[in-house]
Amino acid sequence: MKSELLITTNGFKGTWLAIEYGAWFAKSMGMKITLLGVTESLNPAAIDDHHPLEEIFERAVSLFKHAGVDYSLEVRNGESEQVIPEKANSGDYITVVSPLGRPQIKRWLTGRSIRLLMESIKVPILYVPEMRLPLKKLLISIGGLGYAESAENLAFQVAKSNHSDVTILHVIPPTDLDYPGVQDVRVHINDLADTDTLPGRSLKRGLEMAQQTGLNAKVIARQGNIVEEILSELGDGDYDMVCMGSPYSASTLRQLYTPNITAEIAELAHRPVMTARFNPT
């Protein structure tokens, strides 16, 4: 993996999750780390006080050295929701973020930061709201239209490095339409990967790719509300990470993965969520 890991913090104690998980991820994947600290607006009266980034940087450096990973440190001024995408989009990064500790009133007015970051960051994102290690089971949730290939490839690399079991999930959403293609998918929900339907071919291709990589992999199809079914599968299977195609990967994917779907999973899954945009090249 050639990408570099961009771990981000604004000094909020909750961002330590991104740093701790990122250190493990970098060691597991053989990646170099850039730790980006964002100095947000401070009260001028507190300019001489202990800056919140100082302690977290000190702990991070100690952790990186203990993990034996290469790292560099960078500090920028501004608001995290603007600074992080600017840095992330400037290179070949996987960007690691955790909750930024925004006040409830701000989350109510502008939405959670992860939604804003997903809109702005073009490179893969690893969102860490809680720790789940070791990584034994990984769920890949795909829309069945071929646009999750970037996410699948990344997930397979992570799974291979950690000897993780992989499940590839397709959720059949509710629909009032009753044309033959929909009927085929519904009838063959238990053997969807064996059908010549669009989601069937996508599941079969993903399964073959995983097996060629040497992974222990299987496919599952569920039917119902997409968010509810993904969360149910996460709970039923006790997965340690979920990987999804980015909601901004392609306009045709929005019928299954609207901008709210991946963000809602990130907010509700209570485990690391990795997203990657569709790359047509």
Distance (Å, whole) CA 75 – CA 52: 12
CATH number of 137-276: 3.40.50.620
Distance (Å, whole) CA 11 – CA 79: 12
Residue 181 is predicted with a pLDDT of: 56
AA letter at 154: L
pLDDT tens-digit map of 222-274:
999 999 999 999 999 999 999 997 655 444 444 444 446 888 899 999 999 99
- The whole-chain average pLDDT of the chain stands at 85
Residue 279 is predicted with a pLDDT of: 60
| Residue 81 and residue 36 in contact, taking contact as beta carbons nearer than 8 Å | no
Distance (Å, whole) CA 208 – CA 218: 10
pLDDT-derived band of residue 103, with 50, 70 and 90 as boundaries?
confident
Q: What is the pTM of this model?
A: 0.88
Q: What is the residue whose two structure tokens read 């998918």?
A: 185
| Residue 98 and residue 56 in contact, taking contact as beta carbons nearer than 8 Å | no
- Topology of domain 4-127, per CATH? Rossmann fold (3.40.50)
Distance (Å, whole) CA 2 – CA 154: 12
Residue 127 is predicted with a pLDDT of: 97
Tokens of 159: 């799974």
- Three-state DSSP class for 109? helix
- Three-state DSSP class for 246? coil
Element of type H or E holding 266: helix 259-268
Higher pLDDT, 198 or 179: 198
Higher pLDDT, 127 or 106: 127
Same fold, 4-127 and 137-276: yes
| Residue 128 and residue 266 in contact, taking contact as beta carbons nearer than 8 Å | no
156-160, 178-182, 210-214: least confidently modelled range: 178-182
Residue 195 is predicted with a pLDDT of: 83
Residue 164 is predicted with a pLDDT of: 98
| Residue 118 and residue 81 in contact, taking contact as beta carbons nearer than 8 Å | no
The H-assigned helical ranges of 30-88 are 52-67, 80-88
Q: What is the residue whose two structure tokens read 């929909």?
A: 182
- Domain-by-domain residue ranges, the chain? 4-127, 137-276
Strands 165-172 and 241-245 come out as unpaired
| Residue 136 and residue 240 in contact, taking contact as beta carbons nearer than 8 Å | yes
Three-point CA angle 88, 123, 130, nearest 5°:
85
